[in-house]
């Protein structure tokens, strides 16, 4: 947080003196995203009036409590189990949460003599809280503009095919482009940069070991940074094979699947130390992979014609089975059954006898099927009827039906889905991806198939995906 913001916050605390407080307290969480590590909480506090270690303990105790509260007013501290140890006699307290555009960020509270702390005084204190929220939001917007500028640097370097990292000082903010993230020695480089920044190094070791040089750069708000450029030696391996649009969507799907499983692990509890450590590593790697995907999507947005679809022989039943398996833990969390029924291949003899194999793009089909089943589970009521997934084989087509008994779709929204509209031509898209039901319709169209929807509001929906084998 810069000095200007701190000065404004101090002005608010000074202004609060007209309420004659015993103590006014402000606790803020300055999220600190260190290079190569997960974001951590860094709590910082300001005060006006009384300040003891007992007050500081209350600061951090109520910082946690106010994450889930709108406000707390305690008329008598003497009768409060949590605050009686403040020993302030006939006093009252009010606790208010602080929110920025990025969510909960702290707590603002104060202690006052009970005699003068009425509803008017409480409203005045809430007005001071609103003032603090505005100061914090404006400060974050300035920081975001710096972040945006750094992102533009990274995007530019991606197009130049140069692996690079940007470090903004004095805050521990870093931006790395996709090529840097794929470098095999990335972690060692990060360690050298961290230790070099702390020691005021000239980074000559980086230059010698990894063919790196750096430049001083300026950002909005008077902040400065260092741009590290890497020029890998010819003996280093070539960059990883480029990722196209379909692969990005597929990797994002994998991230969602693994993230869902990790969430279930967090709720399960009773993990031993080694399992907990492995879970932490998985969380960190997923966050890093998500960041790589974000930069790669920005890079692909500059190309007019990313690869649209690649057809190959694939087993549609296996694709559906794998998606159902991945979504079942999410359904169990809602106490829902997810039932998958597949027509037996054995004994099927049609004019075009088939074996369950189709010609299609397995990545796009996986994404589309995941979308349908995930939506069915998401919009089903907890402990309602099972979500049914049914695959059957016709003479010329295979048919997937996904039936849920959830909230259903309103007639107006159903009309938007079924009228064939809503698909944006590729040349008019801002990026390479499509979302939701329109994305599923897009995949069906690429496979010369159709998606139909039947739904009743409050009763549930039936989605039918039908496509030819070849």
Looking at residues 182-188, what average pLDDT do you find? 77
* pLDDT at residue 233 tops 80: no
Looking at residues 148-175, what average pLDDT do you find? 69
Higher pLDDT, 173 or 234: 173
Backbone angles phi, psi at 40, to 5 degrees: -125, 155
Given pLDDT bands bounded at 50, 70 and 90, which one contains residue 139?
Answer: confident
From 79, 112, 143, the end of a domain falls on 143
- Identify whether residues 350 and 317 lie together within a single domain: yes
- Identify whether residues 272 and 328 lie together within a single domain: no
Cα separation of 373 and 183, whole Å? 37
Given pLDDT bands bounded at 50, 70 and 90, which one contains residue 441?
Answer: confident
pLDDT at residue 432 in the model: 33
Task: Tell me, yes or no, whether 202 lies in a domain.
Answer: yes
- Identify whether residues 126 and 26 lie together within a single domain: yes
- Identify whether residues 184 and 99 lie together within a single domain: no
312 torsion bin: left (phi>0), alpha (psi -120 to 50), beta (else): beta
pLDDT at residue 125 in the model: 92
Given pLDDT bands bounded at 50, 70 and 90, which one contains residue 359?
Answer: confident
- Identify whether residues 332 and 455 lie together within a single domain: yes
Contact predicate 330/338, CB 8 Å:
no
pLDDT at residue 264 in the model: 67
pLDDT at residue 389 in the model: 94
Contact predicate 448/434, CB 8 Å:
no
Task: Tell me, yes or no, whether 155 lies in a domain.
Answer: no
At residue 395, the 3 state secondary structure works out as coil
Looking at residues 331-337, what average pLDDT do you find? 86
pLDDT at residue 39 in the model: 47
Q: What does the DSSP assignment read for 383-437?
A: T-SPEEEEEEE-SSEEEEEEEE-SS---HHHHHHHHTS--PPPGGG-SSS---HH
Looking at residues 319-332, what average pLDDT do you find? 86
Higher pLDDT, 432 or 285: 285
Cα separation of 364 and 418, whole Å? 21
Task: Tell me, yes or no, whether 239 lies in a domain.
Answer: no
Task: Tell me, yes or no, whether 363 lies in a domain.
Answer: yes
Given pLDDT bands bounded at 50, 70 and 90, which one contains residue 27?
Answer: very high
Whether pTM > 0.75 for this model: the answer is no
- Identify whether residues 271 and 204 lie together within a single domain: no
Instruction: List, in sequence order, the alpha helices (H) in 1-118.
Output: 3-15, 53-65
Residue 376 sits in a domain whose CATH number is 3.30.565.10
pLDDT in tens, 73-121: 999 998 888 898 888 889 999 999 998 766 788 999 999 999 888 988 9
Structure token pair of residue 227: 């741009």
DSSP E strands in 170-301: the ranges are: 173-176, 212-218, 224-230
- Identify whether residues 352 and 376 lie together within a single domain: yes
pLDDT at residue 157 in the model: 67
- Identify whether residues 138 and 164 lie together within a single domain: no
Task: Tell me, yes or no, whether 152 lies in a domain.
Answer: no
Task: Tell me, yes or no, whether 355 lies in a domain.
Answer: yes
From 275, 300, 325, the end of a domain falls on 300
pLDDT at residue 247 in the model: 58
Please state, in angstroms and as integers, the Cα–Cα distance from residue 89 to each residue in 80, 124, 134, 334, following that order.
12, 23, 34, 48
- Identify whether residues 352 and 443 lie together within a single domain: yes
pLDDT at residue 421 in the model: 45
- Identify whether residues 292 and 318 lie together within a single domain: no
Please state, in angstroms and as integers, the Cα–Cα distance from residue 435 to each residue in 90, 375, 422, 465, following that order.
58, 12, 11, 16
Backbone angles phi, psi at 23, to 5 degrees: -160, 140
From 182, 205, 230, the end of a domain falls on 230
Beta bridge partners of 245: none
* pLDDT at residue 297 tops 70: no
Looking at residues 30-52, what average pLDDT do you find? 66
Given pLDDT bands bounded at 50, 70 and 90, which one contains residue 398?
Answer: very high
- Identify whether residues 296 and 353 lie together within a single domain: no
Domain count, the chain: 4
Mean of pLDDT over the chain: 76
pLDDT at residue 101 in the model: 66
Cα separation of 424 and 384, whole Å? 35
Boundaries of domain holding 19: 3-143
pLDDT at residue 241 in the model: 34
pLDDT at residue 463 in the model: 94
Question: Euclidean distance between the first and final Cα of the chain, in Å?
Answer: 60
Contact predicate 401/462, CB 8 Å:
yes
- Identify whether residues 418 and 282 lie together within a single domain: no
* pLDDT at residue 14 tops 70: yes
Q: Could you tell me what percent of the chain has a pLDDT over 90?
A: 14
Higher pLDDT, 274 or 301: 274
Least confident of 293-307, 395-409, 447-461: 293-307
For the ranges 84-88, 217-221, 401-405, the maximum mean pLDDT occurs at: 401-405
Torsion angle in degrees (nearest 10) through CA of 55, 61, 66, 72: -50
Backbone angles phi, psi at 317, to 5 degrees: -60, -40
Residue 26 sits in a domain whose CATH number is 3.30.450.40
* pLDDT at residue 147 tops 90: no
Task: Tell me, yes or no, whether 92 lies in a domain.
Answer: yes
Cα separation of 301 and 428, whole Å? 11
């Amino acid at each position: 947080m810069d000095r200007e913001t701190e000065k404004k916050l101090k002005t608010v605390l000074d202004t609060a003196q007209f309420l004659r407080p015993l103590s006014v307290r402000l606790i803020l969480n300055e999220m600190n995203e260190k290079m190569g590590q997960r974001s951590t909480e860094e709590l910082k506090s300001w005060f006006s009036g009384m300040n003891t270690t007992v007050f500081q303990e209350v600061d951090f105790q109520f910082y946690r409590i106010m994450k889930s509260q709108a406000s707390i007013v305690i008329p008598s501290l003497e009768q409060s189990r949590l605050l009686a140890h403040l020993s302030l006699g006939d006093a009252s307290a009010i606790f208010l949460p602080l929110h920025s555009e990025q969510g909960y960020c702290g707590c603002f509270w104060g202690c006052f003599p009970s005699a003068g702390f009425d509803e008017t005084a409480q409203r005045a204190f809430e007005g001071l809280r609103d003032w603090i929220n505005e100061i914090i939001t404006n400060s974050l917007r300035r920081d975001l503009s710096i972040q945006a500028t750094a992102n533009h640097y990274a995007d530019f370097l991606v197009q130049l095919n140069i692996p690079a990292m940007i470090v903004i000082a004095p805050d521990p903010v870093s931006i790395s482009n996709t090529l840097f993230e794929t470098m095999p020695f990335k972690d060692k480089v990060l360690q050298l940069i961290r230790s070099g920044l702390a020691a005021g190094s000239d980074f000559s070791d980086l230059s010698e070991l990894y063919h790196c040089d750096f430049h001083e750069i300026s950002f909005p708000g008077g902040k400065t940074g260092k741009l590290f450029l890497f020029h890998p030696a010819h003996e280093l391996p070539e960059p990883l094979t480029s990722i196209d649009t379909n692969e990005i969507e597929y990797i994002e799907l994998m991230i969602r699947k693994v993230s869902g499983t990790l969430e279930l692990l967090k709720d399960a509890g009773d993990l031993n130390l080694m399992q907990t450590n492995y879970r932490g590593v998985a969380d960190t790697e997923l966050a890093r992979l998500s960041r790589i995907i974000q930069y790669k999507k920005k890079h692909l947005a500059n190309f007019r014609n990313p690869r649209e679809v690649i057809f190959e022989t694939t087993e549609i039943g296996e694709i559906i089975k794998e998606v159902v398996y991945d979504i079942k833990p999410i359904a169990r969390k809602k106490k829902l059954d997810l039932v998958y029924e597949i027509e037996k291949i054995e004994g099927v003899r049609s004019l075009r006898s088939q074996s369950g194999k189709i010609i299609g793009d397995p990545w796009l089909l996986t994404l589309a099927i995941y979308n349908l089943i995930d939506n069915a589970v998401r919009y089903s009521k907890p402990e309602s009827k099972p979500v049914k997934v049914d695959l059957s084989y016709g003479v010329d087509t295979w048919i997937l039906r996904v039936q849920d008994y959830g909230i259903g779709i309103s007639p107006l929204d159903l009309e938007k889905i079924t009228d064939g509209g809503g698909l944006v031509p590729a040349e008019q898209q801002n990026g390479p991806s499509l979302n939701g039901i329109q994305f599923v319709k897009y995949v069906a169209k690429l496979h010369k198939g159709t998606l139909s929807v039947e739904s009743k509001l409050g009763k549930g929906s039936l989605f039918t995906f039908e496509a030819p084998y070849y």
